[in-house]
Amino acid sequence: MKILMVLTSHDQLGETGRKTGFWLEEFAAPYYVFKDAGAEIVLASPRGGQPPLDPKSDAADAQTPATVRFNNDTAAIAELAQTRPLVEVLDEDVDAVFYPGGHGPLWDLAEDADSIRLIENHFAAGHPVAAVCHGPAVLRHAQGTLSQPLVKDKRVTGFTNAEEAAVELTDVVPFLLEDELKAKGAKFEAGPLFQPHVVVDGKLVTGQNPASSEEAARAVLALLA
List C-alpha distances in Å: 160 to 88, 124, 164. Answer: 32, 27, 6
How far is residue 180's CA from residue 137's CA, in Å, rounded to a whole number?
8
List C-alpha distances in Å: 212 to 10, 39, 56, 115. Answer: 22, 20, 18, 22
Pair 180, 140: CB distance under 8 Å: yes
pLDDT in tens, 140-198: 999 998 889 999 999 999 999 999 999 999 999 999 999 999 999 999 999 999 999 99
Pair 23, 59: CB distance under 8 Å: no
Which stretches of the chain are assigned E, i.e. beta strand?
A: 2-6, 40-45, 84-85, 96-99, 129-132, 155-156, 187-188, 198-201, 204-207
Q: How open is the CA angle 172-196-186, to the nearest 5 degrees? A: 65
* 52 — pLDDT class (breaks 50, 70, 90): very high
Tell me the average pLDDT of the chain.
Answer: 97
Q: Is 72 helix (H, G, I), strand (E, B) or coil?
A: coil
pLDDT in tens, 54-84: 999 999 999 999 999 999 999 999 999 999 9
Kindly report the pTM of this predicted structure.
0.97
Q: Count of H helices and E strands in the chain?
A: 7, 9
Positive or negative torsion for Cα 98, 101, 107, 110: positive
How far is residue 1's CA from residue 38's CA, in Å, rounded to a whole number?
8
Q: Count CA atoms within 13 Å of residue 138 on its CB side.
A: 35
Note the pLDDT of residue 63. 97
Domains of the chain: 2-224 (3.40.50.880)
Q: Is 140 helix (H, G, I), strand (E, B) or coil?
A: coil
Q: How open is the CA angle 168-26-196, to the nearest 5 degrees? A: 75
